[in-house]
Structure 1
Amino acid sequence: MDVLGDVLAAMRAGRPYAGRTRCWEPWGVRFPAGDSACCHIVLQGACCLIPPEGAPIALDVGDVLFTAPGHGHVLADRPGSPLVDFRPSRDDRSLITELNIPGPGPATEMLCVCYSFDRIRPHPLLADLPPVIHLPARVGSHAALRATVDLIGDELRRPRVGTEAILAPLVDMLLMYVLRVWIDEQSGHATTGWAAALTDTAVATALHHIHQRPEHPWTVEELATRSGVSRATFAKRFTTVVGQPPLAYLTWWRMTTAAQLLRGTDALLPVVAERSGYSSEFAFAKAFKREYGIPPGRYRRQPPSFTGTAGYASAGKPAPTSTGPS
């Protein structure tokens, strides 16, 4: 699971958004195929997910719905209801927003959390995620996930001193628990992809070492030894499961580490090069430009590309209201 945490930390762009949404029938919200992953939890009432293709999925109280980045979807009380567009903005000042869509009918209340990811170099784990993960409410199932949902819901219902500081780790936990459930459900079935990589002892061990010490001069032989299998077995298994050879992934992760250091710290370029496994600043700069298309110094100066706190845009009905915590 440390590898999963590393991946999510490396791919994040900006702060997540958490809010309670109240929608009165008839209502519908169209989410674009952007860079955000979303978690929706039905707190009151019922609704349905209307995917671009396939049949609608009914959602009841307690259901958790995860949608992966790059996959647009619609949430509505029923197919055919009027829609408003969910349009992200770059306002990253607050973690919490309350959104209301007025209407004459019964209300549905949802907890919605959106996570933005770097659009430039998405981790292959994100590409492996299914468009939708639906976790129906079942008594006794996913206790840690349910407890996290309850804690987030309580903070959003009654914002008070420290709410934003408490919510920040809780929304991270929510995403981690959802992905952990997905990985657990894939265990024993997936033979390739990141669900398999994170549950394959040899591959997960190698990934852990690469993530913990990207600056180390790893060889396939040393990674195989640490993973407890022969070199040939390890190289074949890693390549099959992850989708690229061990040293290719090592290079990819080193560049990802370098990008994090450039954007998140004031470390000098020689220090970034050393921590990324390069003995010289020149070699590092050449490798970085090959991967990103621009020199590391220019990359550091450019603003990160992310989708921030979100709002709604009206589409043929009264505009929703959006307020901060009361």
Structure 2
Amino acid sequence: MDVLGDVLAAMRVGRPYAGRTKCWAPWGVQFPANNSACCHVVLQGTCHLIPPHGAPLTLGVGDVLFTAPGHGHVLADRPGSPLIDFRPARDDASLITELNIPGPGAATEMLCVCYSFDDIRTHPLLANLPPTVHLPARAGHHSALRATVDLIGDELQCPRVGTEAILAPLVDMLLLYVLRAWVNEQSGHTATGWAAALTDPAIATALHHIHQRPEHSWTVEELATRAGVSRAAFAKRFTTVVGQPPLAYLTWWRMTTAARLLRGTDALLPTVAERSGYGSEYAFAKAFKREYGIPPGRYRRQRQTNW
């Protein structure tokens, strides 16, 4: 089980937005601080990221910018340009849209993809992300990411038979490649939080087993054995890096798994309980209500209606 991919799949809601944006100076687009994460890639020209605080960041051709959920930001040709709110007008059944801002000045073209995440129960990995991740264009770096950008750009520039079906996995791949690049750049002795968790051999092994078999009756000792370290060292390291003790994270992930099954499948409640590590429907319902505030049946009805 790939933990990074599993977390993103569990937290994603709704359909992503993907489009090519072409703007002529002066222009500016304000992205709200909501439950969306965005990937922006500059295809032509230059622009500036204007954060709520701090100095603007210049983005050039080939630069990739990721913005985490909950962090608003502004992209503009320069500080002080007039702004419009990002409100993509598209058919809800379509993945593709376009944004064009006319003007007399130089043109900037970008590839923009936005993903919505569950803001009711944010995974600590997403909460641990920095507000922005900037991956400058550098020859020989992130070749898989660059290839994915090229494929998405080609499909958006000239939609044809099969474009929607092709884009769906490509936009997911883009997000994974960006976050993988962030994890890799954070790896080493200075890595903290989930960047460290995903690259620490012992912690990553334990997370792998928890995500692969959340229904198993894991103990700290068994997870430590799988990770190849002592029980005491494992428990301390896991709690420090992940932010929760091993069994607390196991329970958290079980409830996340249950919610995912409730809103995304028609599995019966006993099946959801079993796959979430509970021996009885009653014990599961009690734990679920304690975590989410409502019984699992009502959660299913509300979330399948709204999502």
2:25 counterpart residue number: 25
Cα offset for 1:119? 0.9
CA deviations on 1:210-259 (whole Å, 9 max, x unpaired) are: 00100000011111111111111111111111010000000000000000
Aligned equivalents of 1:219 and 1:229: distance in 2? Answer: 14
Call closer, same or farther: CA 1:90–1:69 in 2, change over 3 Å.
farther
Aligned equivalents of 2:201 and 2:137: distance in 1? Answer: 31
Deviates more, 1:76-85 or 1:134-143: 134-143
Aligned equivalents of 2:268 and 2:45: distance in 1? Answer: 54
Aligned equivalents of 2:187 and 2:155: distance in 1? Answer: 33
Look up the SS of the partner of 1:81 in the other structure.
coil
Cα offset for 1:304? 5.9
Taking the TM superposition and a 5 Å limit, the aligned residue runs for 1:21-170 are 21-87=21-87, 92-170=92-170
Call closer, same or farther: CA 1:306–1:49 in 2, change over 3 Å.
farther
1:205 counterpart residue number: 205
Aligned equivalents of 1:90 and 1:287: distance in 2? Answer: 40
Aligned equivalents of 1:90 and 1:75: distance in 2? Answer: 21
What TM-score results when the alignment is normalised by the length of structure 1?
Answer: 0.91
Cα offset for 1:103? 1.2
Cα offset for 1:305? 9.7
Q: Is the 8 A contact 1:224 1:231 kept in 2?
A: yes
1:179 counterpart residue number: 179
What TM-score results when the alignment is normalised by the length of structure 2?
Answer: 0.97
Question: Unpaired segments of 5 or more residues in structure 1?
Answer: 308-326
Give 1:5's aligned amino acid.
Answer: G
Look up the SS of the partner of 2:15 in the other structure.
coil
Aligned equivalents of 1:178 and 1:304: distance in 2? Answer: 30
1:260 counterpart residue number: 260
1:250 counterpart residue number: 250
Cα offset for 1:303? 3.1
Call closer, same or farther: CA 1:178–1:191 in 2, change over 3 Å.
closer
Q: Give aligned pairs, total.
A: 307
Q: Which has the higher contact order (CA 8 A, sep 6+)?
A: 1
Cα offset for 1:92? 3.0
Q: Is the 8 A contact 2:152 2:167 kept in 1?
A: yes
Look up the SS of the partner of 2:112 in the other structure.
strand
Displaced runs of 4 or more, over 4 A: 88-91, 304-307
Aligned CA RMSD, in angstroms, stands at 1.6
Cα offset for 1:128? 0.7
Give 2:180's aligned amino acid.
Answer: R
Alignment partner of 1:14 is 2:23: no
Aligned equivalents of 2:259 and 2:87: distance in 1? Answer: 28
Call closer, same or farther: CA 1:88–1:290 in 2, change over 3 Å.
farther
Taking the TM superposition and a 5 Å limit, the aligned residue runs for 1:205-284 are 205-284=205-284
Alignment partner of 1:299 is 2:303: no
Look up the SS of the partner of 1:13 in the other structure.
strand
